[in-house]
Amino acid sequence: MASHRKSRPAGTRVAGIRTPALATAALTSVALLSQSANAAPEADDKPSLEEVEKKVDDLYRQAESATDKYNSAKEKTTKQRKRVDTLLDDVAKRTQKLNEAREELGSFAAAQYRTGASAPDTATFLLADTPQDYFDQTQLMDRMTGRQRVAVDDYVTQQSETMKKRQEATESLETLTETQGDLKTAKATVQRKLADARDLLSKLTAEEKARLAAIEREKQQEAARKAEELARQQAAQQKAQEEAAQQQDSGSSSAGSGSSSSTAPADSSYATKAEKALAFARAQIGKPYVWGAVGPGSYDCSGLTQAAWKAAGVTLPRTTYDQVNAGTTVSLANAQPGDLVFFYDDVTHVGIYIGNGMMIHAPKPGTYVREESIYYDGESAIHSVVRPA
């Protein structure tokens, strides 16, 4: 913030001595500066509109970052819950088989008793570490048939595998509990950041809100100018590429046509998929941003890009952190419609490029899916461009 101090007038000097009138003025100036300094803390209590705007934008970005963490934890929770359910179901089935094997072994022990072996001790059998230990202790293994030995081996295997699955289920339940804790933490963070942003905005007067809107309009105008400049650069680049291709074709028609046919299908395939993804994204314009939403009634930023490319038959990960690695990175100058544009150093926002420096994205809470310049938050906010297919 600019300082409240003003530069002191140089004044005039005679033979190096300040005149009495100027000395009086200087003393008055010192007094005024002292009053200004004392009043400064009160003035500083209220931030400028630019500071409010920056604070609100930072809170929304932090909320979006927490949203990605929420999405990641939610995805992990869903997968972990399925794994736990599968393991518990497997344990139940194995326990049933174990009980059946135990009953069969008990019948073998009774049969051995009827043939003259020592009386089987049921308690010893049930408490033995393994059936093998029990039968060794009672000298019954020597008198078992092949079928009975197979039953004992099967029981031992079933018992070992059941214990292993029970351990896996226990560990998975612990992991699930931790992930659910992460989910709750991320959700609470999102809600707190959004509440802080709303609280800041609610304290603005009507005049301040109007000035804030004017600042936003200026940013949008600057973003539009940059988008137009990028569109001109891309158009010039495309024209140069087309001219180079024509020259190559005229130089060697047979070789050129072979080269053209080998590269065209890939470009054509991507363009076709991108067209489907963009058609889907355009159909979502006007739907609200909701953190953690993947459609069809609302979206967050990565939920929209994931759904758009899914409509084109391409599966993208859920979060921006993973989507940024799900494809080929290209330069901004070479961006094509359908490419994903990522923002900020922590990769917490993404939109789908439509050409001419514009994109479709779900901006932030309180807004709707819309077309907007990729420079909406300044050129430095652009992190990278990724071609997902």
Active site residue 349: yes
pLDDT score, position 348: 92
Tens digits of residue pLDDT in 331-389: 999 999 999 999 999 999 999 999 999 999 999 888 999 999 999 998 999 999 999 97
The pLDDT of residue 247 is above 90:
no
Contact (Cβ atoms closer than 8 angstroms) between residue 280 and residue 294:
no
Is 4 known to be catalytic?
Answer: no
**Which pLDDT belongs to residue 257?**
46
From 151, 301, 307, 389, active-site residue: 301
Counting residues of the chain whose pLDDT is more than 90, the rounded percentage is 29
| pLDDT for position 34 | 42
Report the 3 state secondary structure along the chain: CCCCCCCCCCCCEECCEECHHHHHHHHHHHHHHHHHHHHHHHHHCCCCHHHHHHHHHHHHHHHHHHHHHHHHHHHHHHHHHHHHHHHHHHHHHHHHHHHHHHHHHHHHHHHHHHCCCCCCCHHHHHHCCCHHHHHHHCCCHHHCCHHHHHHHHHHHHHHHHHHHHHHHHHHHHHHHHHHHHHHHHHHHHHHHHHHHHHHHHHCCCHHHHHHHHHHHHHHHHHHHHHHHHHHHHHHHHHHHHHHHHHHHHHHCHHHHHHHHHHHHHHHHHHHHHHHHHHHHHHHCCCCEECCCCECCCCECHHHHHHHHHHHCCCCCCCCHHHHCCCCEEECHHHCCCCCEEEECCCCCEEEEEEECCEEEECCCCCCECEEEECCCCCHHHEEEEEECC
Model pLDDT, residue 107 = 67
Mean pLDDT, rounded, of the chain = 75
Residue 286 pLDDT grade (very low, low, confident, very high; cuts 50, 70, 90): very high
Q: Which of the pair, 12 or 136, is modelled with greater confidence?
A: 136
Q: Which pLDDT does position 187 carry in this prediction?
A: 80
Catalytic entry in 318, 361, 383, 387: 361
Its pTM stands at: 0.58
Over residues 34-53, the mean pLDDT reads 57
Contact 352, 304 (CB under 8 A): yes
- pLDDT at residue 169 in the model: 72
